[in-house]
C-alpha cells in the first residue's frame, strides 16, 4: 500500500469519527430541545388544568351538544345557548335550559353543571375572558 493510500484511509477514518461525534452532538441537542418542549408543554397543561372554572365562554356548546342539547346546523352551536353578557372584548354565554337540567339532575351524584371546564386547554375564547376577568 502506498503512502497516498494510507493518508487517504486515515483521513477517511478521522472524518468518520468527526461525523459520528457531530451526529451524537446533534442528537443530544435534539433530545435536550425535546425535553425542554415537553417540560414547557406539561407546565402549560398543568397550569390550564389547575383552573377548571367555567368562564361561560360557550365553547363546549359550540363544539357539540350535551345530553340535553339540540344542535343547530345553521349556527353550528346548541339551540339553547344564549348570550349572557356582551362586551367589546368578549361575550359570555348561558344555557337557557339551565334550571330544567339542574332539576332533572338533582339526584345525580355527578351532575353535569358544576363539574368544571372540560376545555381549559387551547380555548382562546375562555383565555380571553379569564384575561379580562382576573
Ligand atoms: S368551555 Fe369551559 S369555560 Fe367555556 S362554557 Fe364550556 S365549561 Fe365553561
Ligand atoms: S343544553 Fe345547554 S349546556 Fe347543553 S349544549 Fe345546549 S346550551 Fe350547552
The pLDDT, as a whole number, for residue 55 is: 97
- Separation CA 120–CA 131 (nearest Å): 13
- Among 119, 121, 122, the mutation site with the greatest number of ligand 1 atoms within 8 A of its Cβ is 119
The pLDDT, as a whole number, for residue 39 is: 87
- Separation CA 15–CA 32 (nearest Å): 25
**Cα–ligand 2 centroid distance for 102 (angstroms):** 12
pLDDT at 60 over 90: yes
pLDDT at 14 over 80: no
94 lines ligand 2 (CB under 6 A): no
The pLDDT, as a whole number, for residue 72 is: 98
**Cα–ligand 1 centroid distance for 130 (angstroms):** 11
Q: How confident is the model at residue 53 (pLDDT cuts 50, 70, 90)?
A: very high
- Separation CA 20–CA 82 (nearest Å): 63
- Separation CA 48–CA 32 (nearest Å): 24
pLDDT at 4 over 80: no
Q: pLDDT tens for residues 62-88?
A: 999 999 999 999 999 999 999 999 999
Which residues does 47 contact at the CB level (< 8 Å), separation at least 6?
A: none
**Cα–ligand 2 centroid distance for 22 (angstroms):** 57
Residue ID of nearest Cα to ligand 1 atom 8:
54
Note the ligand closest to the C-alpha atom of 61: 2
Amino acid at each position: 500500500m502506498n503512502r497516498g493510500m494510507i493518508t487517504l484511509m486515515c483521513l477517511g477514518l478521522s472524518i468518520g469519527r468527526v461525523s459520528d461525534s457531530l451526529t451524537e452532538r446533534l442528537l443530544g441537542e435534539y433530545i435536550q430541545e425535546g425535553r425542554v418542549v415537553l417540560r414547557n408543554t406539561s407546565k402549560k397543561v398543568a397550569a390550564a388544568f389547575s383552573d377548571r372554572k367555567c368562564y361561560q365562554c360557550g365553547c363546549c356548546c359550540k363544539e357539540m351538544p350535551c345530553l340535553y342539547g339540540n344542535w343547530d346546523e345553521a349556527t353550528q352551536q346548541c339551540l339553547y345557548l344564549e348570550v349572557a353578557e356582551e362586551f367589546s372584548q368578549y361575550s359570555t354565554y348561558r344555557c337557557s335550559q339551565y334550571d330544567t337540567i339542574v332539576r332533572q339532575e338533582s339526584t345525580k351524584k355527578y351532575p353535569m353543571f358544576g363539574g368544571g371546564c372540560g376545555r381549559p386547554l387551547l380555548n382562546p375564547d375562555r383565555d380571553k375572558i379569564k384575561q379580562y376577568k382576573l
